[in-house]
Structure 1
Amino acid sequence: MAHPDAVATGGTGGPVADPRRPPGALGGVVPRSALADHAAGSAHRPLRRDVAVRAGGRDGLGRGQRRRAGPAGVHPGGPRAVAARPGGPRRPRHPPRAPGEGRLRRVTPKKPGPAAATSREDGTTGRRRRFTRLLAATAVSRFGDGLHLTALPLLTATVTPDPTAFAGVTVAQTLPWLLVSLPAGALVDRLDRGRVIAVTNGVQAALAAALAVTVLSGGIGLPVLYAVAFALGCCQTLTESAAAALVPQLVPATALATANGRLTGADIIAGQLLAVPLAGVLFGAVHALPFLVDAATFAAAGLLLTGLGAGRARHPDSEPLASVTKDIAVGVRWLAADPGCRSLALVGALINTVLTGCFATFALFALRLLDVGDAGYGLLMGAVSVGGVVAGLLTGTAWRRGSPRLLLLLSLWVPAVACLAIGLTSSPLLAAAMLALIGFGGTVWTVVTITLRQAVIPAHLQGRVMSVFRLTSAGTAPLGAVLGALLVDSSGLRAPWLVGAGALVLAPLLAGPALRAVPEEASAP
C-alpha cells in the first residue's frame, strides 16, 4: 500500500513507440519487458511535460530561447536582433553606455509566489512530509476497515442466525473487488489521487455514521447491512487503488521498497492486530460503538489528506480523455504485453489460490488436528499477522542491502516450506512458527512486487495496470476456496497444505520472466 515518478515506458535500444500506446502496440515489434529495461538501467520512463517544454517546441527552441533568438550567426545571448518593421528599427529602451559604466537602481525583493511555494513543496522535505501524511492516514483508515469488517458479521448475528446471511455479508464486502476494481483504476488515473483518497474516506465516514445511527434506532435489517457493506467495499477498492498509484509521486525510486514496507506494516498492525480484537470489545459494550469509532477514523484520515497536493499523473501529451472502457483496455493491454509484470500477476494468482484453499478450512485443521480450541485458533491466526509486520519493517532494508531477485525467490520458497511443515505436523507451536513464516513470505512478496510494478509502470497508467494486476491475483480466491474444500473432502484436512506446498515449489518456474528481469543488485529501484 512508495514515490518522483520512477516509471518506465520503453527501452533505449529498440524502436521508440508512441508513449500513449501500451508496450507491443507497434506492429511486428515484440516489446522487451519493462522490468528487464528497468533492471538494465535504461531510461524506460515517460518524458515529463516540463522536460518536453525545456527541450523545445517544433523548431527545437524553448519559449525563452525563441524570444532571444536572432538571425543566423547571431548567438541568442549576443546583441538584440533588429527585426524589419514598417516604422524602422526598434529603439533601444536605454541609451548606450560606456564600457564599465554601471547603473544603480533599487532592487525590491518580491514575495515568493505560488510557483516558488510549489517548488519547495516538491523538494525532498515536502515529499517526505506528504508521504508521512499518507502513512498516517493509511494506518487510521485501515484501523477503521478492521473495525467494520469484524463488526459487520457480529451485527448480522443479531439480525438472523441463518448461515446464508453471513455468506451474503462476505459476498457484499468482497464483490467490489470483482466489479469495481477496473473502473476504479481508470478513475484513479484521471483524478487527483490524494483527493480521491480524502473524498472516499469522507464517504466512508458518512456511511459508518449512518449505520451506527440505524443500529441505535433499532431499524437494522439485512438489506441495509448488504448495502452498507457493498458501499464500504467500493470505497475501499477506490482508496487502495489510489494509494498504490500515489506512492511513486511522493517517494524517490530508491525508497519505494521502504515506503511500501511501512505502508504494509501499518496496514497489518492497525487493521488486524489492533482493530480485530478491539472491534469485539466495542461491539460487546454497545452494538453501534464500533461503527461510531469507524466513522471517526475515516473522518480523521480524510482530514489528514486534505490539500495533499499530489496532483494527477496524466499522460505528458495531455491527450483528450477516452471512455472508461478504453482506458481499462489500455491497462489490460499494457500488462498483457509485458512479460515480467505478466508473470508476476500469474504467480500472484497461484499464491492467492493456494493460500486461500489452505486457510478456507484451517479452523477445522486447528480444532481437530492441532487441538488448540477457539482461543488457540485466534493466536495461530495472530502469528500470521506478526510475521507480516516483521517483514514489512525489514523488507526495505533487505532490498537496499541485498538482492531483489533473492527476496522474490524467498517470498516463494519460504511459504512453500511452511505449508509442507504445517501439512505434516500436529504441534501447535511448530504450526504457529510456520504460520508466521507464511505471513513473512506473503508480505515480502507484496512489498517486492508492488515496488517493481511502481518502478516500471508509466505514471499515467499506474491506477489501471495496478487494478488489472489486483483483479488477476485476487480474483482467484473463490477458486482456491472451492479447490481447498474439494481436497479436504477427498483426502483430509492435511491435503490442501501438502498440495499447496508442491504448487509453490513450482512457482519460480512460472515466475521465470520476472526473475530474469528483476535486478540482482540493490541499486534499483
Structure 2
Amino acid sequence: MRAHSAVPLGADYWKLWTSSAVSNLGDGITMVAGPLLVASITTDPAAVAGAVFAQQLPWLLFALISGAWADRLDRRRLVVSVNTMRAGAMAVLAVAVGFEVATVPLILTVFFLLGTGETLADTASAVFVPAVVPEAGRPKANSLLYANFNVLNQFAAKPLGGWLFVAAAAVPFAVNALTFALSAALIATIRAITPTPAAPVDRSPRPGVRAEIGAGVRWLLRHRLLRTLAVTMAVGNVVFCAAFAVFVLYAMRRLGLSDVGYGVLLVAFAVGGFLGTLVAPALIRRIRASYLLRAGLLVEVALHATLALSREPWAVAAMIVVFGVHTTVWGVVVTTIRQRDVPSALFGRVTSVYSFLDLGGAAVGSLLGGVLATAYGLVAPYWIAAVAMALVVVVAWRPLRSAGL
C-alpha cells in the first residue's frame, strides 16, 4: 500500500495538473462574471438564466457525438485546438465588453460555443491520466485534480470573478481567454499520450458516428459494475438537483437564514469537497472500494433525510460537509475504476455516456424540483430524494460488491 502512494506521477502529469488548475480558475471566474454581465445589460430573468443554460445545453446535444470524435482524433491535438478556439471566443467577448457593444445574443452565442468546446475537450482529456500515470498512482492523481476544482473553481474563483467584474467588466473574460491559451500551451507539451488507435488492417470503411456511439453504449451496458455506477449517478443527480433547485428558499424559509447565511451554507459544499481531496487517497489505500461506494450511497440518503427533518442550520451544514467529502471520494473511486476498465479506444465514448447521464439527470431534476416544491411544499423534494436513494441503495448494493482497485 505504501508503495502505491509513493508512485511518482511524472512531469507530464504535473503539466496536466497545472493546465487543470488554470482552467478551473478561469472557468470559475467566468461562472460568476457571465451572469453578472447579462444582468448588467438586461433585467430579464430568462436571459440571466440563459447564460448558464447556454453553456449546459451542448452537453445534452453533443455529449455522445463528442465522445465518438474524441475516440477518432488525436486527443491531445483536439484539446489544444479546442482550448485555442475557446480562448479566441473569450477574447472576442472581452473586446466587445470593453467597447460596450456586447449584447445578450452575443453572450449566449459565446457561452454556447464554450460549452460545445467543453464537451470535446473534457471528453478527450479524460484519457490523459491513464495515459500518463501508472495505475497505482491514479487515485492520488485523480484526488489532486479534484482538489483543483474544489479549491480554485469553488473557493478562489468565485470572489475573484466578482471583484474583477466590479473593477472592469471586460477583465474576467480577458483573464479566462488567457487561461484557455495557457492551458492549450501546457497540454501541447505533453508527450506521453496514448496514440489514436490505428485503422483496421483490412482497411474496411470506418463505421459511422452513430454506430460508434452505439458501440460505446453497448460496452457500458455489458459491464455490470460501470453500468450500475452510471445509472446510480443518473438517478442521484435527478433527485439531488430536484431537491437543491429550491435550496435557496429552503435555507431562508425553513432554516431562517439571511442572504449571507445562505452563502456560508453553500461554502460547506466546497469545504467538504476539499476535505475529500485530502482523505481520498488514504481511504482508497485502506478501505475496499465497494465499502466506500456503499457508504457513499448511505451518505446520500442521510443528506436528504437530514434536510427533510432538520430546522437547525448547523446540522444541515455539518451534513453538507460530510456529503462534500463523499462526492469527492466517490468521484475519485469511480474515475479510477473507469480508467482501469474501459479500453482506450472506447474511452471517449464511454466517458461521454457518463457525462450525458450526469448533466441530463441534473437538467431533469432542476425542472422537477420547482414543480414538486410548488405542489407539495419545500420539504417534499428532500423526502422524495431520500426515498429514491434508499431504493437505489437496495438495488445497487449487491452489484457494488465487485468494486475494487
**Superposition TM-score tier, normalisation by shorter sequence:** over 0.9
How much does 1:285 deviate?
Answer: 1.1
Aligned partners of 1:193, 1:464: CA distance in 2, in Å?
13
2:324 is the alignment partner of 1:439: yes
Q: 2:394 is aligned with what amino acid?
A: L
2:227 is the alignment partner of 1:342: yes
More divergent stretch after superposition (319-328 vs 353-362) = 319-328
Please give the per-residue CA displacement for 1:338-394, whole angstroms capped at 9, x wherever unaligned.
222111111001110111011100001111121221111111111101101111222
Name the residue aligned to 1:398: 283
From 309, 313, 317, the counterpart of 1:428: 313
Q: Contact 2:294 / 2:397 at 8 angstroms: preserved in 1?
A: no
The alpha-carbon distance between structure 1 residues 315 and 461, as it changes in their structure 2 partners (threshold 3 A), is: farther
The structure carrying a bigger helix percent of its residues is 2
Counting aligned pairs with the same residue, the percent is: 37
2:216 is the alignment partner of 1:331: yes
Please give the per-residue CA displacement for 1:10-57, whole angstroms capped at 9, x wherever unaligned.
xxxxxxxxxxxxxxxxxxxxxxxxxxxxxxxxxxxxxxxxxxxxxxxx
Aligned partners of 1:491, 1:390: CA distance in 2, in Å?
35
2:185 is the alignment partner of 1:185: no
How much does 1:210 deviate?
Answer: 0.9
The correspondence of residues 151-230 of structure 1 with structure 2, limited to 5 A, is: 151-230=33-112
Aligned partners of 1:182, 1:208: CA distance in 2, in Å?
25
Unaligned runs of 5+ in 1: 1-123, 520-524
Aligned partners of 1:319, 1:373: CA distance in 2, in Å?
67
2:262 is the alignment partner of 1:377: yes
From 114, 119, 122, the counterpart of 1:232: 114
Q: Contact 1:315 / 1:460 at 8 angstroms: preserved in 2?
A: no
Q: Contact 1:264 / 1:443 at 8 angstroms: preserved in 2?
A: yes
Aligned partners of 2:255, 2:75: CA distance in 1, in Å?
46
Q: 1:237 is aligned with what amino acid?
A: T
Aligned partners of 1:158, 1:142: CA distance in 2, in Å?
24
Q: Contact 2:243 / 2:382 at 8 angstroms: preserved in 1?
A: yes
Name the residue aligned to 1:486: 371
Name the residue aligned to 2:3: none
Aligned partners of 2:202, 2:319: CA distance in 1, in Å?
51
How much does 1:191 deviate?
Answer: 2.2
RMSD, matched Cα: 1.9
Q: 2:155 is aligned with what amino acid?
A: L
2:346 is the alignment partner of 1:461: yes
The alpha-carbon distance between structure 1 residues 297 and 380, as it changes in their structure 2 partners (threshold 3 A), is: same
Aligned partners of 2:228, 2:201: CA distance in 1, in Å?
31
More divergent stretch after superposition (441-450 vs 134-143) = 441-450
Aligned partners of 1:148, 1:319: CA distance in 2, in Å?
48
Q: 1:312 is aligned with what amino acid?
A: P
Q: Contact 2:7 / 2:136 at 8 angstroms: preserved in 1?
A: no
How much does 1:322 deviate?
Answer: 3.1
Name the residue aligned to 1:500: 385
Name the residue aligned to 2:248: 363
Name the residue aligned to 1:290: 172
How much does 1:513 deviate?
Answer: 5.7
Q: 2:195 is aligned with what amino acid?
A: R
Q: 2:19 is aligned with what amino acid?
A: A
- Report SS of the residue matched to 1:476: helix
| Alignment size in residue pairs | 397
Name the residue aligned to 1:314: 197
Q: Contact 2:139 / 2:284 at 8 angstroms: preserved in 1?
A: yes
How much does 1:319 deviate?
Answer: 7.0
Name the residue aligned to 2:32: 150
The TM-score normalised by the length of structure 1 is: 0.72
Q: 1:288 is aligned with what amino acid?
A: A
Aligned partners of 2:77, 2:9: CA distance in 1, in Å?
16
Q: Contact 1:344 / 1:514 at 8 angstroms: preserved in 2?
A: no
Q: 1:314 is aligned with what amino acid?
A: P
Q: Contact 1:415 / 1:437 at 8 angstroms: preserved in 2?
A: no
- Report SS of the residue matched to 2:10: helix
Q: Contact 1:146 / 1:275 at 8 angstroms: preserved in 2?
A: yes
The alpha-carbon distance between structure 1 residues 246 and 491, as it changes in their structure 2 partners (threshold 3 A), is: same
More divergent stretch after superposition (388-397 vs 140-149) = 388-397
Name the residue aligned to 1:250: 132
How much does 1:318 deviate?
Answer: 6.2
Aligned partners of 1:495, 1:166: CA distance in 2, in Å?
27
How much does 1:459 deviate?
Answer: 1.1
Please give the per-residue CA displacement for 1:406-430, whole angstroms capped at 9, x wherever unaligned.
1111111112112211221122222
Q: 2:62 is aligned with what amino acid?
A: V
Q: 1:259 is aligned with what amino acid?
A: A
How much does 1:315 deviate?
Answer: 5.9
